[in-house]
Amino acid sequence: MAGDDDELARLRAELDAVDDEILAALNRRAAIVERVAAHKRATGAPYYVADRERQIIERLTAANPGPFPTAAIRPVVQEIVSACRSLEKGVRVAYLGPEGTFTHQAAKLHFGASCRAVPAGTIAAVFAEVTRGQADFGVVPVENSSEGIVSHTLDEFVDRDLQIVAEVFVQVSHCLLVHHDIDEGAIARVYSHPQALAQCRGWLRANLPRAALVETTSTADAARAAQTDAAGAAIASELAAKLYDLRVLRRQLQDVADNRTRFLVVGPPSAAPPPTGRDKTSALLVLRDKPGALYEALKPLSEAGVNLTKIESRPSRRRPWEYVFFLDMDGHAADPALRDVLDAVAAWCEQFKVLGSYPKVNSDG
């Protein structure tokens, strides 16, 4: 028995030594980052380059010999990079708040825990913060795998000159949050964002058919409302339960188990990422009022073999019955072949705008 204890103590001492080496390496990295920051200040180079972080993660993932789990490299490296970046210049990120929303989770997932995440009350306010330079980037929801498009986000792109610089996918798991001393039978009202209520409509119909459904501006606001309502419940995240001192009464309320939301990271044109070889381009267009205009506008994409992955339409809000079409396609607008195709599309449009080209993310995680 004593021999076993001695062996355990020896192994723990080895772990302590490795941890000391990791700490020393982290501080060496931080010291180099401070020199990088000084160089960027002197040359005017951008502080945040998303493609650089991607390259680091991909290189280390490919080089990992194990047994450290390859899937764990991304979150570990992301937090190291995020913490070191705060030594250069804390990246200020506006997101659809308040704290505890799924958009907040998306912001932290993309930029790391050390970013300065600033909540905004509406999607329009997120765009405004970035436009005014009060935030370096903004994070907004754009579509859900079961409920479709977030129209307010698309509408903001019509009159804004911000660029999409990245996309983020978050697995959305909805929980029923209540006071610590309430049971399901006492719930009279359920608060949540309209999208969350829609994603859980089947569960609500089956389990709380008599409860009034109250729409809020976010799932975190729903948690705040439930916090002050003795007969209220909220559909929100488990993180919101911790932030607002609520109890998780039920988990996985969503009607579709594989429920994901896509978020966009928006920034100024100067933050546009370079081609990576695995990119997506988003664009908007308003067609000329001619027969066959949509067919003719999309034909160059088909003829060039460009994969059109998404098309949505929204009222332009400028003239009755005029619509704005939003397109997603594979490729980067800086690639000569796609640039020529986009020029051919634009020829059929009254208005045409590339909203951004950015690395394509595998939506499976």
Q: Which of 127, 263, 325, 352 is catalytic?
A: 263
The phi and psi torsions of 303 (rounded to 5 degrees) equal -65, -30
- Is 261 catalytic? The answer is yes
Fold of the CATH domain 175-250: D-Maltodextrin-Binding Protein; domain 2 (3.40.190)
Strand 260-267 and strand 137-144: the pairing is antiparallel
Tokens linked to 170: 């978050």
Instruction: Give the pair of three-digit tokens for residue 218.
Output: 């976010």
Out of 219, 261, 325, 326, which one is annotated catalytic?
Answer: 261
pTM of the shown model: 0.78
Q: Superfamily assignment of 2-88 in CATH?
A: Chorismate mutase (1.20.59.10)
| pLDDT tens, per residue, the chain with 365 residues | 566 778 888 899 999 999 999 999 888 888 888 888 787 777 777 667 666 777 888 889 889 988 998 888 888 887 787 777 777 666 889 999 888 888 998 998 888 877 888 999 899 999 999 999 999 999 999 998 888 888 889 999 988 889 999 999 998 889 999 998 888 989 999 999 998 999 999 999 999 999 999 999 889 899 999 999 999 999 999 889 988 999 999 999 999 888 889 999 999 988 888 888 899 999 999 998 888 889 999 999 999 999 999 999 999 888 888 889 999 999 999 999 899 999 999 998 999 999 999 999 876 54
What pairing do the DSSP bridges indicate for beta strands 247-250 and 175-178?
Answer: antiparallel
* Domains of the chain, residue spans: 2-88, 92-172+260-264, 175-250, 273-359
Q: Identify the residue whose tokens are 């003829």.
A: 303
In whole angstroms, what is the distance from residue 53 CA to residue 77 CA?
9
CATH of region 273-359, choose from 3.40.50.1370, 3.40.50.300, 3.40.50.880, 3.30.70.260: 3.30.70.260
**CA-CA distance, 338 to 61, in Å (whole number)?**
30
The CATH superfamily label for domain 92-172+260-264 reads: Periplasmic binding protein-like II (3.40.190.10)
The rounded distance, in Å, linking the Cα atoms of 217 and 212 is 17
Angle at the Cα of 349 (from 347 to 353), degrees rounded to 5? 95
